[in-house]
Amino acid sequence: MSAVATTPTAAVDRPASTTRPVHAPIPLMRVAGVELRKMFDTRSGFWLMASIAILATAATAAVIIFAPDDELTYETFATAIGFPMAVLLPMVAILSVTGEWSQRTGLTTFTLVPHRERVIAAKVLVSVGVGVVSMLVAGAIGAVGNVLGTAITGTDLVWNVSVVEFSYIVLANVLGMMIGFMLGVLIRNSPGAIVGYFVYSFLLPTLSMLLADSVQWFRDAQLWVDFNFAQGALFEGEMSGEAWAQLAVAGTFWLVIPLAVGLGLVMRSEVK
């Protein structure tokens, strides 16, 4: 028998273990800039943002035309402008969130920025920024209307809204935006979140008032459990320590807890 000689195979040179390069995360302000552009890029988004100034101007003109001369004060203009702002600004926040799911752009967004919390943080930052700037623009339009209205009618110029009171109004509208943002992350569907906001803003306050009129214990606790009702002190410009506590308690139940639940769902939901 002949033995077959075997030769050891040459060791194959293997490259040293390679490490995947680690790239620096995209800066939050760059992500926020992209989110801000997305609010204006579409035709509907542009006109939604433009409607804030348009409706503020229309409300100002309506006050000049229809309000009695003795009611041409800055408070009247601020009140007239405040209603369309309270409706439009939450819509801006809702659409900024739900667009990733309703318009099926979430897969692209969360692929480019895989850390969803950075995208959500950018959306919060942009929504609050847009809300504050919009209120400042609306306040400036109301100030111009106050000057023009009193000049046309020959009445005295009255500035009966202080800087502190105006800051309370801005805060109240930002909280309204955050309610819209909360519904956006909780429902993640534009029509559903918008319907939910109108239910929250118009139906629930009506039911709350009816319940307060018929049940004594709820009337005593209404400011502690009804976030809409607790925000009334902000619009009236009269915030005591108890009013801040009531706003915080009601806001915890209606804003903080649902927002935390919605953010948890956003972090875990499947994006298609």
Q: What does the radius of gyration of the chain's CA atoms come to, in whole angstroms?
A: 27
Nearest to 269 by CA among 119, 93, 45: 119
Name residue, tokens 């601020």: 78
Sign of CA dihedral 54, 59, 64, 70: negative
Per DSSP (E only), the strands in 99-220 are: none
pTM: 0.82
Q: How far apart are CA 27 and CA 121, in angstroms?
A: 12
Q: Quick check: is 4 in a domain?
A: no
| pLDDT for res 108 | 67
| pLDDT for res 159 | 87
Q: How far is CA 132 from CA 125, 168, 171, 173, 182, in A?
A: 11, 11, 8, 8, 18
Q: Quick check: is 13 in a domain?
A: no
| pLDDT for res 10 | 47
Q: Quick check: is 134 in a domain?
A: yes
Q: How far apart are CA 117 and CA 107, in angstroms?
A: 15
Looking at the structure of the chain, the number of domains it has is 1
**Dihedral Cα 14, 19, 20, 24, nearest 10 deg:** -160
Q: Quick check: is 23 in a domain?
A: no
Q: How far apart are CA 31 and CA 38, in angstroms?
A: 11
Q: How far apart are CA 186 and CA 266, in angstroms?
A: 8
Q: Quick check: is 21 in a domain?
A: no
| pLDDT for res 253 | 92
Helix (H, G, I), strand (E, B), or coil: what is residue 86?
A: helix
| pLDDT for res 1 | 42
Q: What is the DSSP string of 1-60?
A: -PPPP--PPPPPP-PPPP-PPPPPPPPHHHHHHHHHHHHHHSHHHHHHHHHHHHHHHHHH
What six digits make up the tokens of 43?
């035709």
What six digits make up the tokens of 114?
């895989």
Q: Quick check: is 72 in a domain?
A: yes
**Dihedral Cα 181, 187, 190, 192, nearest 10 deg:** -120
Q: Quick check: is 17 in a domain?
A: no
What domain range includes position 62?
Answer: 28-264
> DSSP character for 226?
-
Per-residue pLDDT of the chain (272 residues; tens, 9 = 90+): 444 455 454 444 555 555 666 666 777 788 888 888 887 777 777 888 888 888 888 888 888 888 888 888 888 888 888 888 888 889 888 888 887 776 666 666 666 777 778 888 888 999 899 889 988 988 898 888 888 888 888 888 888 888 888 899 889 989 999 999 999 899 888 889 999 999 998 888 889 899 988 888 888 888 898 898 888 888 887 888 888 999 999 999 999 999 999 888 888 776 66
Q: Quick check: is 272 in a domain?
A: no
| pLDDT for res 104 | 65
